[in-house]
Chains A and B, each alone.
Chain A
């Protein structure tokens, strides 16, 4: 029995060692840091909730939080809608399906930096093809470098483009896993296309949709590179998101305490978003053991 415990322990040890060294211990240290005043070279001093108070009274923090919330909500919902539509279209059976899926997956392989190059070019006010097209239609182009709202629109478009393959694949796999019989039954009962969608497909896909949405919520909340590379948070800090705010606090303004407080707010927010899912999982795990 002892040998057995050692075997198990050694099997999970590498994974756990990495997790603890890179994630668990640093997070705990971060929490400690958030209650101290500290920057490079200076001794840490306990300051209680001061860092949090300072962050929460900082207008730039709230602007960053607001920007993040808007972008995340828009991105996640549009992705879910588009992903669902595509999943249903593909599930109907299309010719060259494997090839089409390969095409849809392509953006998954693209780095944030390369994606920024593409979308910057497409929407370049002077030479961009999409700007030209919008002009042709009598629509104004995106002044993404000048107008904050336009910058956020471009960031959202870019995020949707990069992450749609993930949402699509989850929903598509879930749709394929639905048993054919329920559709047979709906047909026999004379249900219309809309009725079938509303009363059969949608409820059955709901768990997968919630799962995809949860994952995307948590990951979209980390949004950093797209904003950093596109607008750098500017002009005048107007397009910052929380991760960019944290980065600037820490590495530009050397306010490690404030950055740590922001970091903990991010961790807690992520945990809260995932709380119902974690709760269910914990119960399953307990049943498992």
Chain B
């Protein structure tokens, strides 16, 4: 069915408009606060938003001066994110390997449990864990948050890893076994390099979650292990309607690293989403 030229033009224009609307929706809010964080005080509120302006770092300077806590919290976020990612990736690798290579009733049961616990809302666990964390002296520590974050992604992670390891032929394991390699050696030398893509996918999920998470950080930290989103929320809370610039600077610092990370690792993110979300 050949379409007439005017109709094609109309369709093309509509498509273009739709794409522009999608771009404005997705990037508009981000672009606005990032660019505004470099604008002089007066121009932040200019309507329509100015596209050209003399960039200034005054809001970053004021953030540095008034919120030294924020930069300490960024450090905490880095530590916690790294720790959570390492824990989740390796735990998922091991479990994914077991689920891919072995069959047993109890294994299937434990896999099913992984899916069921994913239905438990995080806020529900804060309640019983709060007194326990206090009793064990884990309240306000980096380790506690890292383990919590990792736990909420080992379930998805195990299934993503299983999907990736399923694609590695079993003969590779067997050949290694014939050469006298133990399970652990096989896993380390053969499986891990071939499943690196899956590990990256899991890492992206966990890292983004751990970097951005608010609820657990809010309940389980107070001073030592406070993360960046928490201090950003404090900036929002202390805010009297004048300091938008400082707020934008803080939001930009919290946001840009993870946005760049997601863009760089987009390939893995997409692969992981499709492998993990559809399977289990």
Contact = CB atoms under 8 A, between A and B. Distances in A.
A211 B154 contact: no
Contacts of B44: 127
A101 B125 contact: no
Interface stretch (B57-65, B166-174, B192-200, B270-278): B270-278
A246 interface: yes
A241 B169 CA distance: 48
B175 interface: no
Contact of A111 (B110, B255, B277): B255
Contacts, number: 270
Interface in A117-133: 117-122, 126-127, 129, 132
Nearest to B125: A26
Given A113-B232, A116-B236, A224 B29 contact: no
Contacts of A264: 124
Given A110-B255, A285-B108, A267 B121 contact: yes
Interface string B83-108: 00001001110110111001111011
A129 to B, nearest CB: 6
B262 A256 contact: no
A270 B47 CA distance: 45
B232 A222 contact: no
B119 A166 contact: no
B115 interface: yes
B262 A33 contact: no
Contacts of B143: none
A205 interface: no
B233 interface: yes
A94 B98 CA distance: 41
Interface string A209-252: 00110010010011011000100000000000001001100110
Interface residues of B, number: 96
A271 B119 contact: yes
12 contacts: A12-B110, A15-B92, A16-B113, A18-B91, A117-B33, A118-B29, A126-B241, A190-B1, A246-B123, A247-B123, A259-B127, A260-B128
A129 B124 contact: no
A102 interface: yes
Interface of B: 1, 15, 18-19, 22-23, 25-27, 29-30, 32-33, 36, 44-45, 47-49, 87, 90-92, 94-95, 97-99, 102-105, 107-117, 119-132, 147-148, 150-151, 154-155, 158, 183, 208, 211-215, 219, 229, 232-233, 236, 241, 244, 247-248, 251, 254-255, 258-259, 261-263, 266, 269-270, 273-274, 277-278, 280
Given A117-B248, A282-B112, A289-B107, A169 B274 contact: yes
B127 A222 contact: no
Given A12-B94, A111-B229, A166-B277, 11 more contacts: A11-B94, A15-B92, A18-B151, A19-B114, A19-B155, A26-B127, A113-B212, A121-B244, A122-B29, A129-B48, A224-B123
A112 B255 contact: no
A170 interface: yes
Contact of A11 (B97, B128, B278): B97
A90 to B, nearest CB: 9
Contacts of A218: 119
A288 interface: yes
Contact of B129 (A22, A246, A259, A271): A22
A24 B99 CA distance: 20
A85 B269 CA distance: 21
B211 A22 contact: no
A286 B278 CA distance: 19
A211 B254 CA distance: 32
Interface string A258-281: 011001101100110010001001
A126 B44 CA distance: 13
A103 interface: yes
Given A113-B233, A122-B32, A170-B277, A263 B127 contact: yes
B119 A111 contact: no
Contacts of A112: 212, 214, 229
Interface in A5-39: 7-8, 10-12, 14-16, 18-19, 21-24, 26-27, 29-30, 33
Contacts of A221: 121
A271 B115 CA distance: 11
Contact of B212 (A33, A89, A110): A110
B23 to A, nearest CB: 6
Contacts of A30: 124-125, 127-128
Interface in A181-227: 187, 190, 208, 211-212, 215, 218, 221-222, 224-225
Nearest to B260: A109
A24 B116 CA distance: 10
Contact of A117 (B48, B95, B251): B251
A139 interface: no
Given A117-B251, A169-B274, A187-B1, A14 B103 contact: no
A8 B107 contact: yes
